[in-house]
A = this chain, B = another copy of it.
Amino acid sequence: MSEDRLDRLEARVQALEDELAIVRLVAAYGPLVDAGDADAVAALWAEDGTYDVEGWQMASRDDVRAMVESDGHQGLIAGGCSHFLGPAHVTVRGDEAVAVCESILVRHREGGFSVRRAGANHFHLGREADGWRIKDRRTRALDGSVEARDLLSKGAKGEVW
- Taken together as a complex, chains A and B put the C-alpha atoms of A74 and B10 apart, in Å, by 44
CB of A50 closer than 8 Å to a CB of B: no
Q: How many copies does the complex hold?
A: 3
- Beyond A2-B6, A24-B89, is A32–B142 a contact (Cβ under 8 Å)? no
Query: A144–B79 contact, CB under 8 A?
Result: yes
Residue from A2, A17, A34, A142 with most neighbouring chain B CB atoms (10 Å): A142
In the complex formed, the residue of B with least CB distance to A150 is B35
Please pick, from B31, B32, B108, B143, the residue contacting A144 in the complex, using a CB distance under 8 A.
Answer: B108
Please pick, from B20, B84, B144, the residue contacting A16 in the complex, using a CB distance under 8 A.
Answer: B20
- Beyond A2-B3, A115-B114, is A120–B31 a contact (Cβ under 8 Å)? yes
